[in-house]
Amino acid sequence: MADVKTIATPIFAPYHEANLYAESDVDEIFQCLPKAIGEATVKLPMLSCVTGEQMSKCLTFGALLHTALGEILREPLRLERIIESVRVTCRASPYTRWAILPVGAYASQILTTALGGIEGISVGVEHLTSTPAAAAAAAALTNPTTRGDSPTGNSNGRPEQSKIAIIGYSGRFPEAADPESLWHLLHQGRDVHREIPPDRFDVNTHYDAKGKKKNASQVRHGCFINEPGLFDCRFFNLSPKEADQSDPAQRLALLTAYEALEMAGVVPDRTASTQRDRVGIFYGMTSDDWREVNSGQDVGTYFIPGGNRAFTPGRINYHFKFSGPSVSVDTACSSSAAAIHMACNSLWRNDCDTAIAGGTNVMTNPDNFTGLDRGHFLSHTGNCKTFDDGADGYCRADAVGTVVLKRLEDALADKDPIQAVICGAYTNHSAEAESITRPHIGAQSAIFRRILNDAGHDPLDVSYIEMHGTGVSSSQDSFTLRYVSLTRD
């Protein structure tokens, strides 16, 4: 059954109602069926959902489909007759093991219970998927000589061994309205930190150069997205009032998700891997600045859905009518990376077939600046001085980023524009560090070794490493260099 694929029949109307439909309605629907498909020979016996008997008179696929659709629209469903027919077939058969493969139906448990009462046979339910990965898995099981020959690197097609393809991305960054602008900014080596703009909060009210004023910081700088509040509420079917009470970080997450899906060419429900109930959303978000400070000054109807972090992935799901997992992740600085890891896990576990993941952060709360400053995280002199003896802390920044992920086999089958491939992902915690805010060399080198071993890559083959070089005064960056060195030794 590895080559079997399911195709949904879009019947958005009352059905099993003879008084609503005539035979001419069925004929009209079948006018669009290509002749070559209709003349294909039926290979598997099919049972009528009305009589429970085999449709022996339907010799072609067109005749079979015409009869089946007529029964769906005009005839009552007689499930008890189907069950009895299957029971008779099982009793008469010499086979003792039976498998039920549900294809767009929900009667598998009823059939399992009914057939399980027959002495001498065993019955199980096998969930049939139409993804290329499932077909590859079946092919590997039936033809051992093909194992290890997959051009995608997935030897047996199991989801947990798939690589993850990035097929679309988008973002908003300080002084960069899209990823291309960010690349140019990095290529030019520009430093874009600036004084906290007045559209966030009054920096003078919350600044104290001596650090003695209560709830004030010694930091005046950051890196900020230009005009983060720009948003076309009508395009996304939000009322002006709801949009006004929604966190700009939430709005930009929705906007960049739309742009990333557009780049990927994803059309929901077009392929097996883009079914709406198989699309999951995973977003990293480590603060509720807008809810705590801005909308909190005038609490209204949309205070919770517009500002609570849980509603950021939910907003994307709701807009696109995706009904897969919806997860908000907060692991501080690593929130977006952790969200992408969770998205990969969801794909590997076959919880979803397409994942939209990323992170979003728009800073408007002065208390977070003060708290980080009092914790000796932030630089008083401007931007980060990463790997520098004069490092005195890091410089906070806005950013919103979104990627669209699929298992590599599904992306290749759908001819998606593959931008990059994730070979592996792993997460741990520096539990043995000197303090809860510092990394631990052993934990960091262990995670590097684990991910390289699982992905099957030699450390010496890695030509580019992006590190969490914050420039904090606790020598965290030297730790980063040391655990990278330990991994490559």
% of the chain exceeding 90 in pLDDT: 47
Give me the mean pLDDT over the 96-110 stretch. Answer: 73
The pLDDT tens digits for 356-395 are: 999 999 999 999 999 999 998 899 988 888 877 788 888 9
Residue written as token pair 């679309």: 168
CB atoms within 10 A of CB 51: 14
Name, in order, each residue with C-beta under 8 angstroms of 238's C-beta and a sequence gap of 6 or more: 246
- C-alpha span between 10 and 239 (Å, rounded): 31
Do 313 and 282 contact (CB within 8 A), yes or no? yes
Assigned fold of 160-426: Peroxisomal Thiolase; Chain A, domain 1 (3.40.47)
% of the chain exceeding 70 in pLDDT: 84
Question: pTM of this prediction?
Answer: 0.67
Do 249 and 305 contact (CB within 8 A), yes or no? no
Task: Give the residue extent of every domain in the chain.
Answer: 1-77, 160-426, 427-489
- C-alpha span between 256 and 172 (Å, rounded): 8
Residue written as token pair 């007759």: 81
Residue written as token pair 């209204």: 300
Name, in order, each residue with C-beta under 8 angstroms of 202's C-beta and a sequence gap of 6 or more: none
Name, in order, each residue with C-beta under 8 angstroms of 315's C-beta and a sequence gap of 6 or more: 246, 250, 253, 254, 305
Nearest to 154 by CA among 329, 10, 348, 302: 348
Give me the mean pLDDT over the 405-431 stretch. Answer: 93
Predicted pLDDT at 155: 34
Of 482 and 295, the structure prediction assigns the larger pLDDT to 295
Q: How confident is the model at residue 8 (pLDDT cuts 50, 70, 90)?
A: low
Q: How confident is the model at residue 82 (pLDDT cuts 50, 70, 90)?
A: confident
Token pair, residue 377, equals 């995280």
Predicted pLDDT at 489: 56
CB atoms within 10 A of CB 242: 16
Instruction: State which H helix or E strand residue 402 sits in.
Output: strand 399-407
CB atoms within 10 A of CB 95: 8
Nearest to 305 by CA among 355, 360, 255, 242: 242
Residue 135: C-alpha distances to residues 125, 158, 345, 413 (Å) = 18, 10, 21, 11
Give the phi and the psi of residue 99 in degrees, each rounded to 5: -125, 135
- C-alpha span between 424 and 402 (Å, rounded): 19
- C-alpha span between 44 and 22 (Å, rounded): 28
Cα within 13 Å of Cα(470), Cβ side = 20
Do 400 and 249 contact (CB within 8 A), yes or no? yes
Q: How confident is the model at residue 261 (pLDDT cuts 50, 70, 90)?
A: very high
Of 187 and 468, the structure prediction assigns the larger pLDDT to 187
Predicted pLDDT at 9: 53
Give the phi and the psi of residue 178 in degrees, each rounded to 5: -160, 170
- C-alpha span between 3 and 254 (Å, rounded): 37
pLDDT at 99 over 90: no
